[in-house]
């Protein structure tokens, strides 16, 4: 008791990056296992975080466990750095870890994201941390964990193939627009998190390390750099992504995912890049060249 | 216009100031003190300690004040705090047979050794709004205190039945056997009873109430009787490694419910009564009873009963009982989802065009 009583009070209210070192160690172990078995969901003892479940507690715990003092952190939600949730998570780490933050994709060493993969290609050494609400891709087909565990163990993905086939039979296409199921390294069917399927091709052989954290569901999984990732499809119905018949109204990009902003109540719409950093960079570049 | 859909640091800071302002209300009204909450909103404090899974009346009161009385928000605050606390060791199991009783009733016997003690219960009050309470009340005559502290431990009613072999034996605590800890490892299925009880202990009272209620209405009927409910203080003992013998480190108030359930017997188990168990911090009778009903329903598998009702389905019950998880995931729908929605828009528009074009020729054919 004496030892406890005389223990020096911590210099700040929380440990570096909020989580205590024991918890970080537990999460890092889960991460190592996840990297070793690409696409496999590893259970971990998820903690309550000072942000609610559903706000990205899985991603936050992963980020907190891998963040070092000299990391540069970028946080995006819907592709944007300035959405409230992104601002809030960045604020949490700026406060508890005192790390440098950035909005520029190429400057960041760790990027936490919800619902998007940046348009700027990632490079080796970067880590992209996804916030995942439902890590189990088979959950909508089989609600029981005891059953889905077996299906994964046996690589029995017939249910998923049938589900996709039923879409084709009923609608003439696979009617899954986001959280589109992927096969990782030819083995595990996984959830890419609710990114639009537009982003799925970026998962394939990406030079960056992709980590997925699901706090409420207590699962972690990973796609190591340069891992093969295939979006499930059929030979006669190949995987396709969303297309727009117009460029970004702000920067003119024709290769980026566009948000549709309602501008008035008469059908007015503005289409602009969902990746705010990409859009701003393109606009700055064209301003330098003296283009409109 | 474009900026309108984006939020920023300033907006969040302003919102936080508004929260503080709204919490305080009219500054002319005296501010609530934690002592007032602890003394006068005791049952709210108890509920927050239960589902917040931390026995600390002061912190629970603080959480209630900070959450403006939203108990689920207060529970969340307490949980987020408790998760950062270091663990020093495991206490010995509390011995509720040695409880200093404030209340103790049995519905299965007219009288039981140790007596029936009503204690502070709403059970026989008339639920009439007491307008005298609206005024700051003058001191009321003190209640006659409960019979003097019992000399000896008051035996549990279930143990009395046990002597006749009419009820299954209580699971014996195997000394040194590790008890799984829900907060240190994720819930895995099938979950053993110790793990299930931990989940129910921190589970949402409203959810457990509804689940327990459903068993009484035919969805997994368990023929329950309240063997005993007791509420009072128990000592918490801990064996410091350097001492090697137990010392009492705290006294806590708990409510325990032993539900006695009919069981017709199977090939391997004789006909006898079975148990459902509920234990909660503080005075939390509704919670303890609901927990006992659900605990018994969830034992269907081990007792060889058909599992047909939601309350008997451990994946369903245990995965959805936590209100911090549930509240978070339900409310996260408020966060922007416009990227996924855009993706859906693209899909629905394409499907709609196809639907329209498929049907227009048919219409003209029909007209011809």
Interval A237-257: pLDDT, tens: 999 998 899 999 999 999 999
pLDDT tens profile B312-352: 999 999 999 999 999 999 999 999 899 999 999 999 999 99
Q: What is the mean pLDDT of residues A213-225?
A: 97
Q: Assign A4 a pLDDT band (cuts: 50, 70, 90).
A: very low
Average confidence score pLDDT of chain A: 92
Give the per-residue pLDDT at B304. Answer: 86
Q: For residues B232 and B101, what is the distance between their CA atoms, to the nearest angstrom?
A: 4
* Closest chain A residue by Cα to residue B77: A50
A196 in reach of chain B (CB within 8 A): yes
In this prediction, residues A91-106 reach a mean pLDDT of: 92
Q: How confident is the model at residue A6 (pLDDT cuts 50, 70, 90)?
A: very low
What pLDDT does B318 receive?
97
- Cis amide prior to B190 (ω within 30 degrees): yes
User: Residue A43 is nearest to which of B188, B327, B344, comparing CB atoms?
Assistant: B188
Dihedral, CA of residue A162, residue A163, residue A168 and residue A174, to nearest 10:
-130
Give the model's confidence band at A5: pLDDT under 50 very low, under 70 low, under 90 confident, else very high: very low
Distance from CA of A17 to the nearest CA of B (A): 12
The verdict on B249 touching A (C-beta cutoff 8 Å) is no
| Rounded distance between C-alpha atoms, residue A233 and residue A168, angstroms | 10
| Token pair in block for residue B12 | 């969040």
Give the pLDDT score at B2.
41
Cβ–Cβ contact A12 with B under 8 A: no
pLDDT for B1 equals 35
Residues of chain B with pLDDT below 70 are 1-7, 137-139, 141, 145-152, 172-177, 361-368
Residue A9's pLDDT is what?
43
């Amino acid at each position: 008791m004496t030892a406890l009583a005389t223990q020096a009070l911590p210099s700040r209210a929380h440990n570096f990056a909020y989580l205590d070192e024991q918890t970080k160690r537990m999460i890092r172990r889960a991460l190592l296992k996840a990297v070793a078995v690409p696409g496999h969901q590893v259970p971990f003892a998820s903690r309550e975080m000072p942000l609610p479940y559903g706000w990205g507690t899985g991603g936050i715990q992963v980020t907190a466990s891998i963040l070092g003092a000299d990391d540069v952190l970028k946080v995006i939600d819907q592709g944007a750095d300035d959405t409230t949730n992104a601002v809030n998570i960045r604020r949490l780490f700026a406060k508890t870890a005192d790390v440098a933050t950035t909005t520029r994709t190429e400057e960041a060493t760790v990027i936490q994201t919800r619902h998007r993969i940046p348009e700027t290609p990632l490079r080796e050494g970067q880590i992209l941390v996804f916030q995942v609400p439902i890590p189990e891709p088979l959950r909508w087909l089989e609600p029981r964990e005891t059953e889905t565990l077996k299906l994964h163990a046996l690589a029995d993905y017939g249910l998923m193939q049938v589900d996709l086939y039923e879409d084709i039979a009923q609608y003439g296409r696979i009617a899954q627009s986001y959280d589109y199921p992927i096969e990782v390294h030819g083995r595990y069917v996984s959830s890419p998190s609710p990114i639009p399927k537009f982003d799925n091709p970026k998962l394939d052989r990406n030079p960056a390390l992709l980590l997925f954290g699901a706090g409420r569901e207590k699962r972690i999984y990973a796609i190591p750099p340069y891992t093969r990732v295939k979006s499930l499809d059929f030979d006669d119905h190949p995987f396709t992504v969303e297309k727009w018949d117009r460029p970004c109204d702000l920067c003119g990009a024709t290769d980026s995912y566009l948000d549709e902003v309602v501008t008035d109540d008469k059908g007015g719409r503005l289409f602009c890049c969902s990746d705010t950093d990409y859009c701003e960079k393109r606009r700055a570049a064209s301003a330098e060249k003296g283009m409109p | 216009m474009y900026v309108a859909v984006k939020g920023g640091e300033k907006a969040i800071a302003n919102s936080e100031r508004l929260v503080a302002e709204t919490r305080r209300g009219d500054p002319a009204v005296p501010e609530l003190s934690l002592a007032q909450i602890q003394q006068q909103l005791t049952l709210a404090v108890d509920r927050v300690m239960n589902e917040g899974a931390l026995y600390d009346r002061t912190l629970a009161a603080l959480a209630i004040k900070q959450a403006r009385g939203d108990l689920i928000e207060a529970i969340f605050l307490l949980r987020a705090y408790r998760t950062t606390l270091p663990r020093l060791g495991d206490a010995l199991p509390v011995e509720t047979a040695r409880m200093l009783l404030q209340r103790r009733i049995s519905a299965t016997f007219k009288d039981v050794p140790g007596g029936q003690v009503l204690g502070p219960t709403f059970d026989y009050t008339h639920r009439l709004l007491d307008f005298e309470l609206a005024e700051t009340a003058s001191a009321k005559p003190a209640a006659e205190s409960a019979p003097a502290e019992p000399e000896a431990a008051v035996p549990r009613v279930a143990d009395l039945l046990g002597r006749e072999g009419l009820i299954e034996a209580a699971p014996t605590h195997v000394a040194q056997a590790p008890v799984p800890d829900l907060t240190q490892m994720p819930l895995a299925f099938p979950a053993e009873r110790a793990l299930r009880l931990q989940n129910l202990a921190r589970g949402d009272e409203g959810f457990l109430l509804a689940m327990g209620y459903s068993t009484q209405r035919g969805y997994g009927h368990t023929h329950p009787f309240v063997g005993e409910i007791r509420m009072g203080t128990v000592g918490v003992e801990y064996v410091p490694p350097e001492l090697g013998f137990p010392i009492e480190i705290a006294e806590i108030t708990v409510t325990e419910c032993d539900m006695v359930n009919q069981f017709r017997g199977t090939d391997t188990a004789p006909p006898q009564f079975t148990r459902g168990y509920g234990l909660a911090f503080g005075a939390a009778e509704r919670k303890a009873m609901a927990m006992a009903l659900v605990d018994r329903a969830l034992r269907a598998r081990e007792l060889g009963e058909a599992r047909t009702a939601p309350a008997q389905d451990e994946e369903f019950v245990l995965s959805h009982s936590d209100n911090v998880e549930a509240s978070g995931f339900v409310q996260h729908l408020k966060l922007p989802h416009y990227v996924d929605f855009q993706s859906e828009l693209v899909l629905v528009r394409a499907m709609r065009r196809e639907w329209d074009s498929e049907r227009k020729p048919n219409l003209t054919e029909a007209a011809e």
